[in-house]
Amino acid sequence: MSGKKVLVVDDDVKTVELVKLYLNRDGYRVFTANDGHEALRLARENHPDLIVLDLMLPGMNGLDVCRTLRQESDVPIIMLTALTTDDDRLAGLNLGADDYVSKPFSPRELAARVRAVLRRLPGERGPEKINHNALTIDFMKHEAYLADKPLNLTPIEFKILGTLVKEPGRVFSRAQIIETALGHDFESFDRTIDVHILKLRRKLEPDSRHPKYIKTIYGAGYKLMENDSDT
């Protein structure tokens, strides 16, 4: 991990300096910003390997920064938030954040999350492109196609489909999808996977009530069909 670049964004100067101290100890090169506009400028200039991004920022909030960054790159983002409801957390994840840490937090825990997200990157990226039956998943461009027609997927839907398409036929439990695709182990998110699968089916399936691609294995989880003819 030594030499990796991390951008830390928070309007609390003391928080930024404390996080920087811990990340410097781990060998990271740390850049800091205290507002959203400065965060975007530094991200564009320095191309960090990971961004720690506070949700509540002056001028341009963290969700807007995350939304803008996701239009430009797939840099991993860890959200910092004092908001604790599932809807608040999922807002960031749906925009493409890779993880979140609730305030108040331990700098040691945050440093561990940074290490975990960066370790996960090679496996997450894996192949640049996968073709499976009529599906094409382009991980480099962050695009998905069905029969050459683009699928308008949210970042979280793309990560779930990307996880399933890497191992057709494998049954993933909800917990495994959360951990593998999103990097989270929070029970409160367990049933939200069902919602995202439902939305994916609406975009993938000719008849979402009789899916051809993503099959529910009752009591176990979900799998991507190995062949279009599977039932």
- Nearest residue to 79 via CA among 28, 143, 155, 25: 155
Name which of 41-50, 78-87, 216-225 the model is least confident about: 78-87
Out of 3.40.50.2300, 3.40.50.300, 1.20.1070.10, 3.90.1150.10, which CATH number does the structure's domain 5-124 have?
Answer: 3.40.50.2300
Cβ neighbour number for residue 226 with a 10 Å cutoff: 14
Q: Is the peptide bond before 127 cis (omega within 30 degrees of 0)?
A: no
Sign of the CA dihedral with 129 first, then 132, 136, and 142 last: negative
- Measured CA distances, 105 to 69, 87, 89, 119, 206 (Å): 24, 20, 15, 21, 45
Structure tokens at 212: 């051809």
Residue 215 in contact with residue 225, Cβ under 8 Å? yes
Residues 174-184 pLDDT 10s: 878 877 776 65
Q: Where are the domains of the chain?
A: 5-124, 126-224
Percent pLDDT > 70 in the chain is 86
Domain formed by 126-224, architecture: Orthogonal Bundle (1.10)
Residues 104-140 pLDDT 10s: 888 888 888 888 788 766 544 456 788 988 899 988 7
Half-sphere exposure of 36 (CA within 13 A, CB side): 17
Categorise residue 201: left if φ over 0, alpha if ψ from -120 to 50, beta otherwise: alpha
d(CA 9, CA 192): 28
Average pLDDT for residues 28-52, to the nearest whole number?
94
- Average pLDDT value over all residues in the chain: 84
Residues 150-183 pLDDT 10s: 999 988 888 899 889 988 888 988 878 877 776 6
Higher pLDDT, 32 or 81: 32
Q: What is the pTM of this model?
A: 0.58
Structure tokens at 209: 């009530």
